[in-house]
Amino acid sequence: MSLLHWEERYSVGVAAVDHEHRELIELINRLYAEATARESKDAIVNFFGDLFKAISSHFALEERLMRERGYDQFAQHKNDHERLLDELRDIMEDFEANAGVDEKLLARSLDAWFSRHFESHDARLHSLLRDH
Ligand SMILES: [Fe+2]
Ligand SMILES: [Fe+2]
C-alpha cells in the first residue's frame, strides 16, 4: 500500500519544486511497497536506509542552494530538516526493538512533517529564490 499521498496543502507554489517533492513522495512509496512485499525484517531495515538516503539528498540539495544564496533562514530551515531525520531515527529504533513497523505512525509522522515543512520553510525558500 502507499505510505503517503500527495496533498494540495504540500504545494509550495513553484511547479518545479512541487514536482520534485512529488517525486520524493513517489520514491518513498515505491521503496516502502517493495520492502513490505518482501515481508522480511532486513527488507524493512533496508527501506529505512533508502528512505534516509532519499530524504537526505533532497535536503542536501536545498541546503547547498541556501548556502550559495546566503539564505537568511538557513539555520532554522536546516534544523527542521534535522528534526525529521531524528524522528525517523526514533521510528527505526522502535522498529528494531519491536520488530514491527507502526505503519500508521510512520505515515502520520511523514505526512505531518511534509505538510508543515513544505508549507512553511520550503514555500518561503522557494518563493524567494524564484524572485531572484
Ligand atoms: Fe526544506
Ligand atoms: Fe524540499
Q: Which three cell numbers stand for residue 104?
A: 500508521
Q: Give yes or no for a contact between 21 and 131, defined as CB atoms under 8 angstroms apart.
A: no
**CA 99–ligand 2 middle distance (angstroms):** 30
Residue 15 one-letter amino acid: A
**Which residues neighbour 54 within 8 Å (Cβ) at sequence distance 6 or greater?**
24, 27, 28, 31
**CA 41–ligand 1 middle distance (angstroms):** 30
Does residue 77 have a pLDDT over 70? yes
> Phi first, then psi: what are they for 70, rounded to 5°?
60, 45
The number of angstroms, rounded, from the C-alpha of 48 to the middle of its chain's C-alpha atoms is 12
**CA 97–ligand 2 middle distance (angstroms):** 30
pLDDT at 99 (0 to 100): 67
Q: Which three cell numbers stand for residue 36?
A: 513490505
**CA 68–ligand 2 middle distance (angstroms):** 16
pLDDT at 81 (0 to 100): 94
**Over the chain, what is the mean pLDDT?**
86
pLDDT band at 60 (very low <50, low <70, confident <90, very high): very high
**CA 121–ligand 1 middle distance (angstroms):** 6
Q: Which ligand is nearest to the CA of 10?
A: 2
User: What is the rounded distance in angstroms from the CA atom of residue 118 to the CA atom of residue 126?
Assistant: 10
- Over residues 23-56, the pLDDT tens digits come to 999 988 988 888 888 878 888 888 889 989 989 9
Q: State if pTM tops 0.85.
A: no
Q: Which ligand is nearest to the CA of 80?
A: 1
**CA 19–ligand 2 middle distance (angstroms):** 10
Share of the chain above pLDDT 90, in %: 23
Sign of CA dihedral 96, 101, 7, 49: positive
pLDDT at 22 (0 to 100): 93
With residue 115 as reference, give the H or E element that holds it: helix 103-117
